[in-house]
Amino acid sequence: MSKRSFLSGMLLMLSFTAVVGQAVKTTAKPAAATSGYHIPITLIPYKNVQIYLGSYYGKSKTIVDSAVLNEQSKGIFKGIKKLTPGIYFVISPKYSILFEVLMDDKQHFSIESDTLKLDKTAIIGSVENDLFKTYSQFSITKGKELQQLSAQYSKATNKADSLRLQAELIKGNKVLQDYRNNFCKQHPNTLLATIFNAMKQPDAPAVPIVKGKPDSTYPYRFVKEHYWDDISFNDDRLLRTPFFETKVDDYYKRLVVQHPDSLYKEIKYMLLMARTGKEMFPYLLTKFTNKYINPEIMGHDKVFLKIFEDFYAKGDTTYLNPASRKTISDRYYSLMANQLGNPAPELILTDTVGNSVSLYKIKSKYTFISFWDPTCGHCKEEIPRLDSIYKARWKKLGVTVFSVNANEAKMDEYKKFITDKKLSADWLFAYQTKAARDAEQKANVPNYRQLYDMYKTPTFYLLNENKRIIAKQLSIEQFNDLLSAKQNKPQ
């Protein structure tokens, strides 16, 4: 284990310790009522000002209520509906977080604090925060020890000291984790147990020897299989912690094969398990929709299509406003016709001298479709670069460029740019006439802009000799790398 990776793990472990060391002093008293929430607060020295109650919401933070403090620095956070349990925090008039509070299902307790003595903050009447206090006291002591060991480890000058300190850090970390594990066994239904489970990461076991051979994939399979132990995806409380969404992102980044089918298998399972979560299901559905509706990796938009078909198309849109619903539906129909491996939609356009041209009549090993606008600043840079790489390399590889003017009203500028930049004469230059576009609209036929998801310029596609889509929406360099790989030749 390198020092960097080990210290990164230690920082993750210590992050919660640093947080829980703030709200510590508690004295349990019975709750006065069970409906809604009622949290009197005394916050010295603030007077005649507004303070706020906030919570985590995935990776974000949100304000859920406010209270006005009187001359005695007293105010009340209250509401007729209970808050979703989780980690909450009190926010100053200047919007800085002062301290955190565990909010379980019993939401009638009081808070007494002084901004000069935040470590003495008292949370009165909350059993959950009493448990929190006990853990805080233990974790602060152990956390300080681990921080000292970590500092020594980072400065170790020889292998023996590094190994010794690393072993002590691992041992100390295990003590903290054992505390949490024992707590979860003793108090399985508490909010704190839910938080501990959200923080937990399974340790990879040693590589076993099976029939005389090492099974190198077993540690990965073990971690993946146990990653979600003791986690219920419909538990809305998890959203009100800073750990759950980070855990989700880590899982999909490290443990799930980055192929659309593999990704969606995991996503579908998670969404189905979260379906009864009032907050969790729409949050996860929105999260995965946003990630894959315009994905970072080519081809991952297929995940969005599957999400749409299995969830949105089946009615899971009640929480969306009409504009959002339309945006998601339109995006689906813009992507469904141009998936990798599918035949490219036909393009029947008009060339610059008035002749009809068809994509499927092009006989070429590869066809490169370039949708661009002669008035687009980025296009003015990219199209000459495309021409240069075409002349230098792609023409020899059997690539035909189908150049489409996406701004039909600027045909003069289009032709002038072709001439001025001396673009290759063997490119096929084309556009859609107004009459053809009007005819499509009248017949309610999708335009090529929708069929090719052309919401920006330039937009590029690479097709094989059968006009199936090999790649799309990449940079010119990435297309070149792909063609090089297919030719099995160095760049």
DSSP-derived secondary structure for 64-113: EEEEE--TTSEEEEEESSPPPPEEEEEE-TTS-EEEEEEE-S--B-EEEE
Report how far residue 51's alpha carbon sits from residue 94's, in angstroms, rounded to the nearest whole number: 8
Q: What is the pLDDT of residue 29?
A: 46
The third-level CATH classification (topology) of the domain covering 29-125 is: Immunoglobulin-like (2.60.40)
Q: Tell me which DSSP letter residue 468 carries.
A: B
pLDDT value, residue 404: 97
- 425: helix, strand or coil: coil
Cα(290)–Cα(314) distance, rounded to whole angstroms?
19
Alpha-carbon distance 200 to 231, whole Å? Answer: 10
Estimate the crossing angle of helix 159-186 against helix 191-199, to 10 degrees.
Answer: 150
Alpha-carbon distance 421 to 153, whole Å?
A: 61
Element (H, E) at 166: helix 159-186
**pLDDT at residue 489, as a whole number:** 53
The runs of H, that is alpha helices, within 311-405 are 322-335, 377-392
Residue pointed to by tokens 């045909």: 411
Phi, psi torsion values for 211, nearest 5 degrees: 55, 40
- For the sheet with 428-431, list strands across it: 356-358, 348-351, 428-431, 399-405, 366-372, 459-463, 469-472
Q: Which residues pair with 158 in a beta bridge?
A: none
Q: Which of 180, 97, 202, 94 is nearest to 132 (CA)?
A: 180
Enumerate the domain spans of the chain: 3-18+133-199, 29-125, 209-335, 348-487
Which of 3, 21, 11, 5 lies closest to 146 in space, CA to CA? 11
Measured in degrees and rounded to the nearest 5, phi and psi for residue 99 equal -165, 165
Residues whose CB is less than 8 angstroms from the CB of residue 146 and which lie 6 or more positions away in sequence, other chains included? 10, 13, 14, 169, 172, 173, 176
pLDDT of residue 7: 28
Distance CA 352, CA 414 (A): 9
Residue 287 and residue 243 in contact, taking contact as beta carbons nearer than 8 Å: no
Q: Residue-wise over 457-476: b if at least 16 C-beta within 10 A, else e?
A: bbbbbbbbeebebbbbbeeb
What is the third-level CATH fold of 348-487? Glutaredoxin (3.40.30)
Per-residue pLDDT of the chain (491 residues; tens, 9 = 90+): 333 332 223 223 333 333 333 333 444 444 444 689 999 999 999 999 999 999 999 999 999 999 999 999 999 999 999 999 999 999 999 999 999 999 999 999 999 999 999 989 999 999 999 999 889 889 889 889 999 989 998 888 898 889 999 999 989 888 998 999 999 999 998 999 999 999 888 989 999 988 889 999 999 999 999 999 999 999 999 999 999 999 999 999 999 999 999 999 999 999 999 999 999 999 999 999 999 999 999 999 999 999 999 999 988 777 788 898 899 999 999 999 999 999 999 999 999 999 999 999 999 999 999 999 999 999 999 999 999 999 999 999 999 999 999 999 999 999 999 999 999 999 999 999 999 999 999 999 999 999 999 989 999 999 999 999 999 999 999 999 999 998 865 54
User: At residue 367, what is the residue type?
Assistant: T
What is the pTM assigned to this prediction?
0.84
Tokens (6 digits) for 317: 């849109």
